[in-house]
Amino acid sequence: MTVKQMKTVKTLIEAMPWIRRFWGKVMVIQPDGVTAHSPRLRDLLAADVTLLRMVGMQPVVVDGAGAAGGFAGLIEKHGATPASHQVAAGETAAVVAALPDLLADEKVPVLDAGEAPLQLAGELAATAHAEKLVLMNDAGGLLVEQAHETLILPECDLSTLGALTAAGKVAPDVQLQLAAVRRALEAGVASAHIIDGRVEHALLLEVLTDAGCGTKIIPAGAVAATAMPL
């Protein structure tokens, strides 16, 4: 067996417990930053989303500004069946009620949220009792000011995040993302993730590997997960 083959097998084995843990779980994914505009990165993200669906997870993509139709086509190209839906203001409850139909027959819901994709993503994750909310940015995760330098925070809970925000250590341009994160976690979502959309296959790295690819945020007082899920 070659070194490359060994690495491939190791990666597949590493993914197994995560697939088992998240099988059948809803994950709300909202692409932003360069991922929202780069054809190559959108195509790679569509491949990631399709793979998650094929191994039994239930990803829901919330896109914006009329881009959802194009993403649905990418999902279809990679072998899954998209379920496109345009969401008007105030329709979150109706979308949640329709999710079983949108997810039926292994379909991937692709929701066009117009100018408010972050708000819909947070609200949808909260009301649909999603397992995860996954957001993307171009900064590598959540940046915080620590000891005169800017660092990517690998993991924190809502209490720590609130303290950092109150102290002015979190950049103001992520406040919409953090509002979506707070809405989701306070409603019972197990974790929220702000991942590096510039990295190829960032979604798979975050969901199916030990390493991750950004910042994981958990509810206040929650115990951080061990490297390997039960």
Tokens describing residue 141: 């995760």
Rounded Cα distance, 143 and 103, in Å: 34
Element (H, E) at 21: helix 3-22
The distance from CA 185 to its chain's CA centroid, rounded to whole angstroms, is 13
Radius of gyration of the chain (CA): 17
Give residue 149's pLDDT.
84
Rounded Cα distance, 212 and 73, in Å: 27
Nearest alpha-carbon partner for 118 in 187, 47, 59, 36 = 36
10 Å Cβ neighbour count for 191?
A: 21
Rounded Cα distance, 217 and 156, in Å: 5
Give residue 8's pLDDT.
82
Q: What is the mean pLDDT of each run of 10 residues along the chain (230 residues)?
A: 84 92 97 89 97 98 78 95 90 91 95 92 96 94 84 92 90 89 97 95 93 90 49
Give residue 229's pLDDT.
38
Q: Are 57 and 22 in contact (CB under 8 A)?
A: yes
Q: Which residues contact 170 (CB under 8 A, 6 or more apart)?
A: 142, 143, 144, 145, 161, 164, 178
Q: Are 103 and 109 in contact (CB under 8 A)?
A: yes
CATH of 3-218, one of 1.10.3720.10, 3.40.1160.10, 3.40.50.2000, 3.90.550.10: 3.40.1160.10
Q: What are the sequence ranges of the domains in the chain?
A: 3-218
Strands (E) across 6-87 are located at 26-30, 58-63, 81-86
Rounded Cα distance, 134 and 119, in Å: 13
